[in-house]
Amino acid sequence: MNTPILDVQNLTAGYGAKKVIQDVDFRVEQGRIAGIIGPNGAGKTTLFRVITRLIKPMAGEVRYCGKDTARMAARELARAVAVLPQTLALGFDFTVADFVRMGRLPHIGRWQSLQEKDMEIAEEMMRNTEVNGLSNRGITELSGGELQRVLLAQALAQEPELLLLDEPTSHLDIGHQVEIMDLVRKLNKEKNLTTIMVLHDLNLAGLYCDELILLSEGRIFAKGTPAEVLTYQNIEAVYKTVVVVKENPITKSPHILLVPKDKWNR
């Protein structure tokens, strides 16, 4: 059997003595797009932060290609796993080109300078995400959609095996949401880049993910394909609201329709 690219084993984690997630256990095979979904406070962000090693697990482990990530050096991890955070300090106005080149950081030593090859990789990733026209713009001047694509270019310049995204569409309108998600799927197909993302929007999750992990109160409530996970029974139980699940007539993926509380009786 293949070693999964990410293997999360009986993970328990939280802050201080408080356990936010408990016994979370799942694996993601190479080349898949997996989504982590769940209501506010279900532990999505905590799970994401343990996977990206920003916090330590209390129990269990996160294995990347069979290796315990807790034992990997930050640089080693950064060469394999790229992360798109939800927030970023934008104190200094780097140009887009310089910003994307920073993705090469885990590959170059302190005494080395950027080589021709590093420049080419950064260029290529900017073309991939269609931000090459923005090269000389400052990152503080970009729109939300542009910034996401530039961040994606930087992450790709790390030449990762695994891409982790924290709510990549949270500040975007529907047009830009589809643009970013299409781009993520294109990169997944072209580069066989395994992708795991935290998503708030269940319909986007259903449209773009191969598999979903539904969290509720710190535990996995359901996992499987979108059709298996996004059932009205699961969603009503976890989100405590009434929904109707229909099939998207074009993509055949599940689509969730909301129902206001005063219409619940009908």
Partner 1 sequence: MRKIIFLILFVLLIISAFIALRFGSVGIEWREFWHSFTHPSEQGTAHSIIWLTRFPRVLAAVLVGAGLAAAGCALQGLLRNPLAEPYTLGISGGAALGAAVVTVFMPIHLGAWTTPVSAFFGAMVSVTLVYLIAGRRRFSVTGLILAGVILSFIFSSAVLLILTLASPLETNSILFWLIGSLSGDKVSIIKAIPFFIIPGIAILYLFGRDLDAIALGDEKAFHLGVEAIRVRQILFVVTSMVAGACIAAAGMVGFVGLIIPHAMRMMIGPGHKPLIIASSLAGAAFLVLADTVARTVLSRHGQELPVGVVTGIIGGMFFIILLLKQREKMSF
Binding site for partner 1 (CB under 8 A): 52-54, 73-79, 81-83, 85, 87-95, 98, 102-103, 105-106, 108, 110-111, 158
Q: How many CB atoms lie within 10 A of CB 111?
A: 5
Least Å distance between CB 45 and partner 1? 12
Tell the smallest beta-carbon distance from residue 133 to partner 1 (Å): 19
Do residues 61 and 11 make contact, with C-beta atoms less than 8 angstroms apart? Answer: yes
Alpha helices in the chain, H assignment, sequence order: 44-51, 74-80, 96-101, 116-128, 144-157, 174-191, 202-208, 226-229, 232-239
Of 1 and 73, which has the nearer Cβ to partner 1? 73
CB of 81 to partner 1, least distance (A): 8
Closest distance of CB 99 from partner 1, Å: 8
Residue with smaller CB distance to partner 1, 66 or 91:
91
End-to-end CA distance of the chain: 50
Helix (H) or strand (E) holding 83: strand 81-84
29 versus 76: smaller Cβ distance to partner 1: 76
Nearest alpha carbon to residue 135 among 143, 123, 145, 144: 123
- CB-CB contact of 31 with 194 (8 Å): yes
| Min dist. Cβ of residue 256 to partner 1 (A) | 31
Please say which residue, 83 or 180, places its beta carbon nearer to partner 1. 83
SS3 assignment, position 252:
coil
